[in-house]
Homo-oligomer: A and B are copies of this chain.
Amino acid sequence: MEIRTILVEPKLEENIGAVARAIKNFGFSELYLVNPPDIGEKAMAVASHAYDVLRACEKVNSVEEAIEDSTIVAGTTSRHGISSNKHLRMPFFSPRELKDKVKGIGKSSILSILFGSEDTGLRREELMLCDLVVCIPTSSGYPVMNLSHAVAVVLYELSEVDGGMAAGTVKLASIEDKERLFMHMKTFLDEIGYKEHKKDKTMLMLRRILGRAELTGREVQTLRGILRKAEWKISKGS
């Protein structure tokens, strides 16, 4: 699925550059601008290595033109509805709910996401063109986000970038490996003359500490290596 970021009448070229950068950061490329200001050096500087996204952006004169070939049009707003009686901004989706909603949509589809201008956000007529409304949960103390921040958060949620070897995907040590480590530690406590009546409690504490740490296989081997080295030193005497 193609994700198209559409900025409706953005005022500051810096924001356009920052949005281009966020688009590239999260592995996307399409940027449409409805009646943008001139894009000059400031925007280019903020876009940094995403100058290609900025250069390839489409400038159009109306929201209708920008969304013409879209499969789904989502409008973002910082003010969400509070009653199911108000249909303009209700029901709204959080960025994560949007991701779930569009999960099954075909590969050749285009999801267009509209972001309003810095001062007014999307106007009523623009929200009327949207299939659904997205609202980032923010504090009532200051609900309105910076334009490029809002884009970054929505694209972060929609991104299909593989997190790589994040902690959740790192192969943890097997139970057998960990048991061998704990046996080794227990033997080591004997070897250093650790007080017998304290041993069980201390072993349990070590188990809890290392359990919380979610050790990898490699880490278990390194810890056992330290124990072996200490045992060798003990056997040799100081």
Interface residues of chain A, those whose CB is within 8 Å of chain B, are 18, 21-22, 24-27, 46, 48-50, 80-82, 84-85, 90-94, 97, 101, 135-139, 141-146, 148-149, 152-153, 156, 159, 161-168, 170-171, 216-218
Contact = CB atoms under 8 A, between A and B. Distances in A.
A50 B146 CA distance: 11
Given A91-B166, A94-B168, A168-B94, A50 B142 contact: yes
A39 B72 CA distance: 43
Nearest to A14: B14
B143 A25 contact: yes
B166 A135 contact: yes
Contact of A91 (B24, B27, B161, B165): B165
A164 B80 contact: yes
B161 A138 contact: yes
B139 A91 contact: no
Of the listed residues A80, A145, A167, the one surrounded by the most CB atoms of chain B closer than 10 A to its CB is A167
Stoichiometry, copies per complex = 2
Contact of A81 (B21, B48, B148, B165): B165
A143 B27 CA distance: 9
B146 A21 contact: yes
Given A25-B145, A84-B217, 5 more contacts: A24-B139, A48-B146, A80-B165, A84-B218, A153-B156
A25 B139 contact: yes
B142 A25 contact: yes
Contact of A149 (B25, B161, B216, B218): B25
A139 B27 contact: yes
A141 to B, nearest CB: 6
B26 A139 contact: yes
B149 A22 contact: yes
A164 B84 contact: no
B81 A142 contact: no
A99 to B, nearest CB: 12
Contact of A97 (B48, B49, B94, B168): B168
B146 A22 contact: yes
A130 to B, nearest CB: 14
